[in-house]
């Protein structure tokens, strides 16, 4: 008998049930029926993209510490952050902004570090931008993480020639002067650019352009910012709507429908933050159920936005050639007290974990059209995956949701129905349980379940006709409180725990802890 092994098994079983406090009352039975006979679209892995802007401590300190730093790094890039991101299988990273992109001049960020000019970052705290992290450092970071490039070009304050030159510098295999400069800077082979953002928020920080004015710019940039790397196709993403305003959606899609041979796009972006009010004032910690319910409600507004904008897209593009790229989303909360408000630093709680799961579920339900998405932002900024302080790193509850959802990357969506008592608080009425399902390349069915109720567990009967699971196992992310966070001193307050379901009569019976996210596998 191996006693230590038995002790480990007992400990693991205890973990499987720990997610549900013994005192939590039940919401009532929740019935989830996965329509396994129906086949949906592929869930594009690019909806799990990240966004890394030159903003606060997002790049400098968060990713880049420089090759001379005592913090372990590879060519200046933090090893701990790269390691954590590799576990997320990050498909793409959007860079260099955001609002920063429309003031970025790429030539400042190439060549010997000592010769790069110090410039300003007027959008974000007015700080000095040293330009030490530039094009080559970004692609080195991508290669270390195993991700692809989503570059945003400067339409607001740049020129078509500047953008065209950047693309030639990056992508041509021919020995042009720009390609020789690229080689002299350490990269002989062309880079691959997977997505190219044609501006950023040009209705706002990107130049306050009317839809028609933007469309005239779009045609120019979509023509001249060419990809010369035929081995690596590039998709061009036009700027689209801010939240509910349909002006850009209509103008861009109408222009695309009537386009000439001279230009094209492959996507249009949507930006929507869970912010509630402006300036952002919802507390990241120390909030109660009022704020919890309100922010989950603001999050679910994404569903209506996706419906509105995709209906317009369907009108002009019934074949769904153009992707909707939700390339900025997430919670935008009051800044952490004592930090520079221009740096957009905020704590990240169990509530943020639910906000992440609910958004991902909404994108997955619209997988036929939402094929790219980028949470704002990757490290130290807004709804971050990771916080760093000097040589320390902590993973947030949102990070854990992204890690748990890895099996959904490139899996096939399976429709399901949920019958659950709603979660009601004051005037807010939300679905009690949110769920999505998918089949991976090996045929295994994965189900993600989010219990929105903050104090009641949910007893779920999960039925997958045609599949009689022998085992239902997975992970649950639950927390002592809805505002529980991970800190440098206590990094494991909110971490996923193993979970199992009971199998009975061909159904899986699961108990979801209050305010929890679970991802289960049926075998």
Residues near ligand AHR (CB under 6 A) are 53, 97-99, 200-201, 328, 376-377, 382
Q: How far apart are CA 20 and CA 173, in angstroms?
A: 57
Smallest distance, Å, CB 324 to ligand AHR? 17
Smallest distance, Å, CB 156 to ligand AHR? 11
- Indicate the residue among 53 and 165 with the shorter CB distance to ligand AHR: 53
Q: From start to end of 10-76, where are the E strands?
A: 26-34, 49-51, 73-74
Annotated catalytic residue within 61, 129, 168, 201: 201
- Indicate the residue among 331 and 376 with the shorter CB distance to ligand AHR: 376
- Indicate the residue among 280 and 432 with the shorter CB distance to ligand AHR: 280
Annotated catalytic residue within 61, 168, 266, 328: 328
The DSSP bridge partners found for residue 129 are 119
Distant-in-sequence, close-in-space partners of 367: CB < 8 Å, separation ≥ 6:
40, 41, 42, 43, 44, 47, 413
3-state secondary structure of 391: coil
Smallest distance, Å, CB 514 to ligand AHR? 30
CB contact at 8 A, 19 and 460: no
Smallest distance, Å, CB 145 to ligand AHR? 20
26-34 and 416-419 beta bridge pairing: antiparallel
- Indicate the residue among 254 and 339 with the shorter CB distance to ligand AHR: 339
Q: Which residue is nearest to ligand AHR (CB)?
A: 98
Smallest distance, Å, CB 274 to ligand AHR? 12
Q: Nearest to residue 100, comparing CAs of 66, 60, 136, 148?
A: 60
Smallest distance, Å, CB 134 to ligand AHR? 18
- Indicate the residue among 170 and 376 with the shorter CB distance to ligand AHR: 376
Residue 381: CA count within 13 A, CB half-sphere: 26
Output helix, strand, coil percentages for the chain, rounded to the nearest 5.
30, 25, 45
Q: Nearest to residue 382, comparing CAs of 408, 414, 348, 358?
A: 348
DSSP class of residue 193 equals -
Q: Nearest to residue 437, comparing CAs of 459, 456, 471, 463?
A: 463
Residue 132: CA count within 13 A, CB half-sphere: 16
345 is catalytic: no
Smallest distance, Å, CB 509 to ligand AHR? 41
Positive/negative CA dihedral, 61, 64, 68, 72: positive
Q: How many CB atoms are closer than 10 A to CB 392?
A: 12
CA distances from 233 to 86, 148, 161, 171, 293 (A): 23, 12, 21, 10, 43
201 is catalytic: yes
Residue 182: alpha-carbon gap to chain centroid: 30
CA distances from 43 to 202, 299, 406, 498 (A): 29, 20, 11, 25
Catalytic positions are: 201, 328
């Amino acid at each position: 008998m191996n006693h230590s092994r038995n002790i480990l098994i007992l400990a693991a079983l205890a973990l499987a049930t720990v997610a549900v406090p013994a005192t939590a009352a039940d919401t009532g039975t929740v019935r989830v029926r996965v329509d396994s006979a129906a086949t949906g679209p592929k869930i594009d892995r690019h909806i799990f993209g990240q966004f890394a802007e030159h903003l606060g401590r997002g790049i400098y300190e968060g990713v880049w510490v420089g090759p001379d730093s005592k913090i372990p790094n590879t060519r200046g890039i933090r090893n701990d952050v790269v390691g954590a991101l590799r576990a997320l299988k990050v498909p793409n990273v959007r860079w260099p902004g955001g609002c920063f992109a429309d003031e970025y001049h790429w030539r400042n960020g190439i060549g010997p570090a000592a010769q790069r000019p110090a410039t300003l970052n007027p959008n974000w705290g007015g700080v000095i931008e040293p330009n030490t992290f530039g094009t080559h450092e970004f692609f080195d970071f991508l290669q270390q993480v195993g991700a692809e490039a989503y570059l945003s070009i400067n339409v607001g304050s740049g020129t078509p020639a500047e953008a065209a030159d950047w693309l030639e510098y990056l992508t041509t295999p021919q020995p042009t002067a720009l390609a020789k400069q690229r080689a002299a800077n350490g990269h002989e082979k062309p880079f691959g650019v997977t997505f190219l953002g044609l501006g950023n928020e040009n209705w706002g920080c990107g130049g306050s352009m009317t839809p028609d004015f933007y469309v005239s710019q779009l045609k120019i940039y979509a023509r001249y910012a060419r990809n010369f790397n035929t081995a690596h196709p590039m998709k061009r993403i036009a700027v689209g709507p801010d939240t509910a305003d349909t002006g850009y959606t209509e103008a861009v899609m109408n222009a695309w429908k009537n386009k000439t041979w001279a230009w094209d796009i492959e996507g249009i972006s949507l930006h929507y933050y869970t912010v509630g009010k402006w300036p952002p004032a919802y507390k990241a910690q120390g909030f109660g159920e009022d704020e919890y319910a309100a922010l989950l409600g603001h999050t679910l507004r994404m569903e209506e936005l996706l419906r509105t904008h995709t209906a317009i897209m369907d009108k002009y593009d019934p074949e769904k050639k153009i992707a909707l790229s939700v390339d900025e989303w997430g919670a935008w909360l009051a800044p952490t007290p004592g930090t520079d408000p221009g740096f957009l630093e905020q704590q990240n709680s169990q509530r943020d974990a639910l906000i992440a799961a609910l958004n991902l579920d909404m994108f997955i339900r619209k997988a036929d059209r939402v094929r790219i998405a980028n949470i704002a932002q990757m490290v130290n900024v807004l709804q971050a995956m990771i916080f760093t302080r000097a040589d320390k790193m902590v993973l947030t509850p949102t990070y854990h949701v992204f890690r748990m959802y890895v099996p959904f990357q490139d899996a096939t969506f399976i429709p399901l129905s949920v019958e659950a008592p709603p979660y009601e608080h004051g005037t807010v009425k939300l679905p009690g349980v949110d769920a999505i399902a998918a089949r991976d390349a090996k045929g295994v069915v994965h189900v993600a379940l989010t219990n929105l109720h903050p104090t009641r567990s949910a007893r779920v009967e999960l039925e997958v006709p045609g599949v009689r699971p022998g085992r239902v196992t997975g992970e649950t992310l639950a927390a002592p409180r809805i505002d529980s966070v991970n800190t440098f001193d206590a990094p494991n307050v909110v971490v996923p725990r193993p979970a199992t379901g009971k199998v009975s009569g061909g159904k899986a019976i699961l108990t979801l802890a209050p305010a929890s996210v679970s991802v289960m596998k049926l075998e």
